[in-house]
Amino acid sequence: MKVLLKTDRYLIGRWKDAVYQHVPGLEIVTFPFVGDPSDIEVVIAWEPPQGLLASMPNLKLVISTGAGVDHILKDKTFPRDVPLVRMVDPGLTQGMVEYVVMAALLCSRRMHRAFSAQARKMWEPETVPLAPEVTVGIMGMGVLGRACAGALLGMGYNVIGWSRTPKKFDEVQTFDGIEGLEKFLTRTQILVCLLPLTAETEGILGRGTFNRLPPGAAVINAGRGAHMIEADLLRALDMGKIEVAVLDVFNEEPLPVDNPLWDHPRVFITPHTASVTTPESAIVSVADAIDELRKGLPLSNLVNVELGY
């Protein structure tokens, strides 16, 4: 079985070593050295170029190295009959949990005010709410959302969740659909976006959403940049509707130097590093998918390409 690796350049060597060690009997090639496309049966991919997957007539499986698959489905030539599986990686999950917990603490402890006072060399003590006084609302209750909810609950935060379709989670009140969104937002003091990017969720972090949040709410976006309407966020920040934002993803990456988000005093920026797939732990998911393919078993973590997740 011939496998093509198309990942970030700095990870290619680690991915190749991990596949060789954990999945025997494979012939591995790395992009852009594809060779004969008709020989490729499996692609392990991050952001494959437009048309690459469609050029492989014998392709049997595509494995996304990220939890999201929008980077693959944005290619309109992607063959929809080829199974696509998303990454479920303990390291990826742990990284996201750590990021969301960190961001929630930054917001609820009002660290932006402390950092501002430090920059001005001003001693400005204030009382901040403890976790049990704060409600965190998580948009997207998949693997990552549930893991983050569990960690936040463990710290004492009140946690609620929203998804497009009904989800159940112990200790977390969940809402779903358009009809549940307003109830969810009106109770949310710290909004965390971990949604998959689809046509329905693109731009969901915009004026309509911000206007439904309580005054002084915080926004954390670790989903996708296209979830956010950046101009609406800046307007909400300047009007005082949103107190602070923690952003890991952006509509354009790297974030242009002239983007006003850089200079806003109540915006924390990280360079799309909230959670990164680690080949050494992610290989378990890859090995399972290839083993299931070989044995003709149902594929775990199979994506519904029509829904986009």
When pLDDT is averaged across residues 173-190 and rounded to a whole number, the result is: 98
CB proximity list for 153: less than 8 A, separation 6 or greater: 159, 171, 172
pLDDT tens for residues 126-167? 999 999 999 999 999 999 999 999 999 999 999 999 999 999
When pLDDT is averaged across residues 166-185 and rounded to a whole number, the result is: 95
Fold that domain 2-89+277-295 belongs to in CATH: Rossmann fold (3.40.50)
Q: Residue 227 catalytic? A: no
In 3D space, the residue among 242, 189, 192 whose CA is nearest the CA of residue 221 turns out to be 192
Alpha helix ranges (H) inside the chain: 12-22, 70-73, 90-108, 111-119, 143-154, 177-187, 207-212, 230-239, 279-295
Catalytic option among 109, 212, 272, 294: 272
Give the containing element (helix H, strand E) for 149. Answer: helix 143-154
When pLDDT is averaged across residues 74-102 and rounded to a whole number, the result is: 97
Structural domain boundaries of the chain? Answer: 2-89+277-295, 92-269
The verdict on domain 92-269 having CATH code 3.40.50.10490 is no
So what's the pLDDT on residue 29?
Answer: 98
When pLDDT is averaged across residues 271-298 and rounded to a whole number, the result is: 97
When pLDDT is averaged across residues 171-196 and rounded to a whole number, the result is: 98
So what's the pLDDT on residue 300?
Answer: 97
In 3D space, the residue among 280, 305, 245, 309 whose CA is nearest the CA of residue 82 turns out to be 305
Q: Is the pLDDT of residue 257 over 90?
A: yes
When pLDDT is averaged across residues 79-86 and rounded to a whole number, the result is: 98
For residue 191, give the 3-state DSSP assignment. Answer: strand
Provide, rounded to the nearest whole percent, the portion of the chain with pLDDT above 90: 99
Give the containing element (helix H, strand E) for 95. Answer: helix 90-108
So what's the pLDDT on residue 94?
Answer: 97
Q: Is the pLDDT of residue 170 over 90?
A: no
So what's the pLDDT on residue 130?
Answer: 99
Q: Residue 272 catalytic? A: yes
Query: CA-CA distance, 128 to 114, in Å (whole number)?
Result: 11
Task: Locate 267 and state its tokens.
Answer: 């915006």
Catalytic option among 224, 227, 235, 264: 224
Q: Is the pLDDT of residue 174 over 90?
A: yes
7-48-89 Cα angle (round to 5): 45
Query: CA-CA distance, 177 to 303, in Å (whole number)?
Result: 20
pLDDT tens for residues 102-133? 999 999 999 999 999 999 999 999 999 999 99
pLDDT category of residue 183 using cuts at 50, 70 and 90: very high
Asked if the domains 2-89+277-295 and 92-269 are classified in one and the same CATH topology, the answer is yes
